Amino acid sequence: MAMIQGERRDTFLSIRRALRGRCPNCGQGRLFATYLRQVDRCAVCGEAWGELRADDAPPWLTILIVGHLVAPLALALVRYGSMPDWAITALLVTVSLALCLLVLPRAKGLFLAAIWASRARSS
């Protein structure tokens, strides 16, 4: 059952649940039907998720996080590494891609939970 309208929503608990891919309301149902597509409604509590939109925020956060992790690695490999340039490039592309795929759904969950907890709605 959906949460009562006036009830307080714990933002940090919702975000922790969403980072695990779970419904920010109950923590039991799945938040995503596929890799990035959120479910229309939670199968457990019935909370509506289809109307929430995170738009460009998850890719922005993903780029911010991955960039801050990969840039120092790139600088260290170029300065101190003894690998050929093609190997450094291949490694950095692989690490960047893997991190993007790992971070993006969690970033979307984070923003969906924050939007839901603040009761903000898309227009």
What is the per-residue pLDDT across 71-87, written as a single tens digit (0 to 9) for each? 999 999 999 989 999 99
Q: Determine what percent of the chain falls in helix, strand and coil, rounding each to the nearest 5.
A: 55, 5, 40
pTM (predicted TM-score): 0.86
* Residue-range domain boundaries for the chain: 11-117
pLDDT score at 3 = 46
pLDDT at 123: 52
pLDDT of 81:
85
In Å, how far are 40, 61, 79 from 74, measured between CA atoms?
A: 40, 20, 8
Note the residue count of the chain.
123
pLDDT score recorded for residue 95: 98
Q: Which two tokens stand for residue 65?
A: 């996080």
- What is the Cα–Cα distance from 49 to 65, expressed in whole angstroms? 25
DSSP state of 38: B
How far apart, in whole angstroms, are the C-alpha atoms of residue 106 and residue 61?
A: 10
Give the count of beta carbons closer than 10 Å to the beta carbon of residue 48: 13
Provide CB contacts within 8 A for 117, sequence distance 6+.
9, 10, 11, 14, 15, 24
Residue of 102, 103, 116 lying closest to 27 (CA atoms): 116
pLDDT score of 1: 43
Per-residue pLDDT of the chain (123 residues; tens, 9 = 90+): 444 455 788 999 999 999 999 999 999 999 999 999 999 999 999 999 998 999 999 999 999 999 999 999 999 999 998 999 999 999 999 999 999 999 999 999 999 999 999 988 655
Structure tokens that stand for 49 in this block: 């998720």
